[in-house]
Structure 1
């Protein structure tokens, strides 16, 4: 095996115990009352317990299981991660909850494996979904039955490792082998919809009044443009994370030009920003995004790396309407501008930019996987060279993105980005030979 079984078993046992604790503890503390909530908790805990029992059953609690026993145990664990990932995709609160590493034995604390060490460095940076991805990657490294060379990932491995697009200012679609910005309607809880509708009408009216007042003042053109952009986003029902970030940037700009405005206009602007802050807070996506951003420890070097990667990506996509709609680089540039915001806003903006880039990588890689699978099954029209060239061009964009933010993504709990970069590099090299 690539790693001693005793270490692998310690890793797996510790992870499953920690996952159970992470799921169970919040419920025990607040004693769930509803029957549906209790059933959901019981189902989730039983999934984890079943995975633990299956693992111990297949390995028979032995110190050195046979290759066949380990193959079966690993297969069961991979099935569990797939099912559990599907479960948390429809439960955003559990998906974004901080993963808490459980109590370890003294020897494990003093001499942790590489897998456990990543959680000990900074437990707060991993959400449940991110910890699950890290566990999937670890299982991939524990193979005994793989035909490919050690460290090589198959199409199925990549499909499992690369997550679907996440909550971010921008998500993408690939239509006819061209990247486009996906239209996202803000999703809200049913019980909040009447309040949201009332707030929307108020904000729309106050935004129109503020723009009219600013147009009659001697305010800086950039401030007017910022308010106009924010008003347009709110009015059009744009991505709520994008609205929240634009509102933050608008507030920063308002503070910069405060001395140029009468007190009454400053008050209108402040009230407008505050109303939008309360408005976006009603949406689960904004709540999840802000919680995740607060829990991620990005340093100054990470922020620089993300900014540079975004600039390279914008340059690579500009004037490439053969593979990307012209709005794609413009939208990425729009998100990148938030990195100029000072203090904690810069960290939140960096997280937003990182997740936007991750979404682009995810959309391209998953689209490429479909093409590769169709080619392998001979369902693509003679694996046309034109289609292959386009896929290679798209993968080149994903490679630029993944290579640029790989380090920052790993620090933010997304180790899959580096794995994707290695896979894409090999696919590009292989497809170029075939064209």
Structure 2
């Protein structure tokens, strides 16, 4: 039976939830059935973003683990017509299966294109000058809440120490130690207050970042997020706890302001103009990136999608987003693209001279190649926005060059 019918007929869920989610599931299924061979980069990103939105909706979570039987289309090895076979799974599993089918359809199209050209699918590397051009285009990572590294064939977060001027080092460290102690008290009081769990987790994350003494821009963004959430949940707190929390967050803000990197970052953010549609688009693509990277534990450290999610959530409502938080997401994603593109450029150069097998070591080549293809789709969808950002004009020509690579 269809996903829509399965959702609507389940006796273990609220009917209102079923009626909200079922049509969205059925629309996705129909889009796949009718268009699986003509997905563009933008439509694929939108398709994946809708899947992520459904997965994260409270209505869907009500029945995500409920069992369901779906019809899987199987083609025999002799090339005969497809047959339908029942597959027992959960609603969550069915949604993941649908997502994977779209990815496979896009990959099959690319494979068939290469076969038509009479070339092997495994790898095609451009000439040396093209590789050099890509290397020249891809910049170093920008001043942002998050930077990345690929070490031992594994994508991870690159934590940067919080550094200030020499004359301010001791005072900054003393202030940090005082904030850590003060933060422990705040966390303990929030735990006793029975406040919202999500808010408590956000304050705990802020405390952990203070203790780590790194990533000062990320700390500043997290503090902005805490300030905004504190306004929302203030009514749930006693006057004493609320006052202590506000004082702590104000102190963190003053601490962050001592650091040159934070001051430069806020100056950069102030001159950038992003509208509501820009922010909504970046949030939707960030959701898909988070979902996809979380599904690649052999290639990507779990901290990467977790940290991107933290920055995305700091944006809050796109209608009222602060420049510093919305800019944070764009620069974080740009750093992700630049690190992966830089890695591919280095691999191409090494492969051309037969000095390395970088990509082969970066998980299976098929998996890594698929991830790079998705990166190109995400970056391409954001290119019109990045073209308006300072020093981001490199992205569009880099994507054009990378599309000539085949993994």
What interval of TM-score do these two structures reach, taking the shorter chain for normalisation? 0.5 to 0.7
CA distance in 1, matches of 2:260, 2:141: 16
- In structure 1, the partner of 2:372 is 395
Question: Which structure has more helix as a fraction of its residues?
Answer: 1
1:299–1:324 distance in 2 versus 1, CA, 3 Å: same
Q: Which 5+ residue runs of structure 2 have no aligned equivalent?
A: 1-127
TM-score (norm 1): 0.60
Once the two structures are superposed, the pairs formed by residues 19-30 of structure 1 within 5 Å of their partners are: none
Q: Determine which of 171, 178, 190 is the counterpart of 2:147.
A: 171
Residue 399 (structure 2) aligns with: 421
Aligned to 1:405: 382
Residue deviations 1:102-158, cap 9 Å, x none? xxxxxxxxxxxxxxxxxxxxxxxxxxxxxxxxxxxxxxxxxxxxxxxxxx9822222
Deviates more, 1:366-375 or 1:323-332: 323-332
Contact 1:166 1:355 in 2 (8 A): yes
Aligned residues: 278
Distance in 1 (CA, whole Å) between partners of 2:345 and 2:244 is: 51
Q: Does 1:355 align with 2:338?
A: no
Q: Secondary structure at the match of 1:269?
A: helix
Q: SS of the counterpart of 1:173?
A: strand
- Which deviations, in whole Å up to 9, do the C-alpha atoms of 1:211-242 show, x marking residues without a partner? 22222224333332222111111111231111
The whole-number CA distance in structure 2 between the counterparts of 1:381 and 1:202 is 49
- Mean Cα deviation higher: 388-397 or 301-310: 388-397
Give the whole-Å Cα distance in 2 for the aligned partners of 1:260 and 1:240. 30
Corresponding residue for residue 217 of structure 1: 193
Task: Give the corresponding residue for 2:203.
Answer: 227
Q: CA RMSD in A?
A: 2.4
Tell me by how many angstroms 1:400 deviates: 2.8
In structure 2, the partner of 1:270 is: 246
Structure scoring higher RCO (CA < 8 A, sep ≥ 6) equals 2
Query: 1:180·1:327 contact (CA, 8 Å) conserved in 2?
Result: yes
Per the TM alignment, residue 314 of structure 1 is displaced from its structure 2 partner at its CA by: 1.5
Q: 1:323 touches 1:393 (CA, 8 Å); kept in 2?
A: no
Check the 8 A contact 1:395/1:424 in 2, yes or no.
no
Structure 2 contact 311–328 (Cα < 8 Å) conserved: yes
Contact 1:298–1:412 (8 Å) recurs in 2: no
Pairs within 5 Å for 1:124-273: 154-273=130-249
CA contact 1:306–1:404 (8 Å) conserved in 2: no
With the length of structure 2 as denominator, give the TM-score of the two structures: 0.64
Query: What is the CA-CA distance between 1:294 and the residue it aligns to?
Result: 0.8
Q: Cα offset for 1:343?
A: 6.2
Paired with 2:285 and 2:356, the residues of 1 have a C-alpha distance of: 33
Query: Deviations for 1:350-389, whole angstroms, at most 9, x for unmatched residues?
Result: 2111111111111111111111111111213699698754
Q: Specify whether residues 182 and 188 from structure 1 end up closer, same or farther in structure 2 by C-alpha distance, changes over 3 A only.
A: same
Farther off after superposition, 214-223 or 237-246: 214-223
In the alignment, the residues of structure 2 paired with residue 388 and residue 214 of structure 1 have an alpha-carbon distance, to the nearest angstrom, of 47
Residue equivalent to 1:335: 311
How far the C-alpha of 1:403 sits from its partner, in A, is 1.3
Distance (whole Å) between structure 1 residues aligned to residue 197 and residue 347 of structure 2: 47
